[in-house]
Structure 1
Amino acid sequence: MTRLAVAMSPERVADVCSAETRQLLEERFEVVWSGADVSRLEGAEVVLTSWGTPPLPASLWSAGNGPKVVAHAAGSVKRLIDPVIFNQGVAVFSAGGRIAWSVGEYCLASMLTLARRLPQFDQALRGGAWKPSHLRGIELAGQSVGILGASSTARALITLLKPFGCDLVVYDPYLDDDRARALGVRTASLEETLACAFVSLHVPDVPETRGLVSRKHLEAMAEGTIVVNSSRGPAIDQEALLEQVVAGRLFAALDVFDPEPPALADAVLAAPNLLISPHIAGDTVQGHLALTGYVLADVLKWLDNGTCGPSYVDPAAWPIAA
Structure 2
Amino acid sequence: MRIAFFSTQPYDRLFFEQENTSGEFDYQFFETHLGPHIVEIVQDVDAVCVFVNDKVNREVIQTLAGKGVRIIALRCAGFNNVDLNAAKEFGLSVCRVPAYSPEAVAEHTMAMLLTLNRKTHKAYNRVREQNFSLNGLLGFNLYGKTIGVVGTGKIGKAFCKIAQGFGCAVLAFDPYQDDELKDRGVTYVGLDELYGESDIVSLHCPLTPENKHLISSDSLGKMKDGVTLVNTSRGGLIDTLAVIDALKSRKIAGLAIDVYEQEEKLFFKDLSGTIIEDDTIQRLMSFPNVLITAHQAFFTDEALTQIARITLRNLQDIEAGLAPVIPQAQLC
What TM-score, normalized by structure 1, do the two folds share?
Answer: 0.72
User: Do residues 40 (structure 1) and 44 (structure 2) align?
Assistant: yes
Aligned-partner residue type, residue 260 of structure 2: F
Counterpart CA distance in 2 for 1:187 and 1:10 is 38
**Which shifted more, 82-91 or 209-218?**
82-91
Q: Which runs of 5+ in 2 are unaligned?
A: 31-40, 267-277
Q: CA 1:222–1:123 in 2, change beyond 3 Å: closer, same or farther? A: farther
Question: Which aligned pairs between 1:117-132 and structure 2 lie closer than 5 A?
Answer: 117-119=119-121, 121-122=123-124, 128=131, 130-132=133-135
Please report the RMSD computed on the Cα atoms of aligned residues, expressed in angstroms: 4.1
For residues 145 and 84 of structure 2, what CA distance do their matches in structure 1 show?
43
2:326 to 306, 312, 315: 312
Tell me, yes or no, if structure 1 residue 15 matches structure 2 residue 20. Answer: no
Q: Could you tell me how far apart the structure 1 residues matched to 2:258 and 2:173 are?
A: 21
Distance 1:266 1:297, change over 3 A: closer
Once the two structures are superposed, the pairs formed by residues 197-236 of structure 1 within 5 Å of their partners are 197-236=199-238
Note the alpha carbon deviations across 1:39-75, whole angstroms, 9 max, x for none.
313xx4xx35133877463476689x974x5433234
| 1:57 partnered with 2:61 | yes
Q: What runs of 5+ residues in structure 1 fail to find an aligned partner?
A: none
What's the TM-score, normalizing by structure 2? 0.70
CA contact (8 A) 1:120 1:273 kept: no
Q: Percent identity?
A: 21
Q: Give the aligned residue type for 1:245.
A: L
SS of equivalent to 1:102: helix
Judge conservation of contact 2:230–2:257 (CA < 8 Å) in 1. Answer: yes
Deviations 1:114-133 (A, max 9, x none): 2323345457665945233x
Matches within 5 A, 1:187-266: 187-194=188-195, 195-246=197-248, 248-249=250-251, 250-260=253-263, 262-264=278-280
Within the candidate set 2, 5, 18, 2:2 is matched to: 5
Indicate if the aligned counterparts of 1:101 and 1:156 stay in contact, CA closer than 8 A. yes
Cα distance, 1:240 vs. partner?
3.5
Secondary structure of the 2:113 match is: helix
State how far apart, in whole Å, the 1-side matches of 2:219 and 2:170 are: 19
State the distance in 1 between where 2:2 and 2:234 align: 31
Q: Does the Cα contact within 8 Å between 1:177 and 1:187 map onto a contact in 2?
A: no
Measured after TM superposition, the shift of residue 196 of structure 1 is 1.0
The residue number in structure 1 matching 2:274 is: none
The 3 A distance-change label for structure 1 pair 264 and 214 is: closer
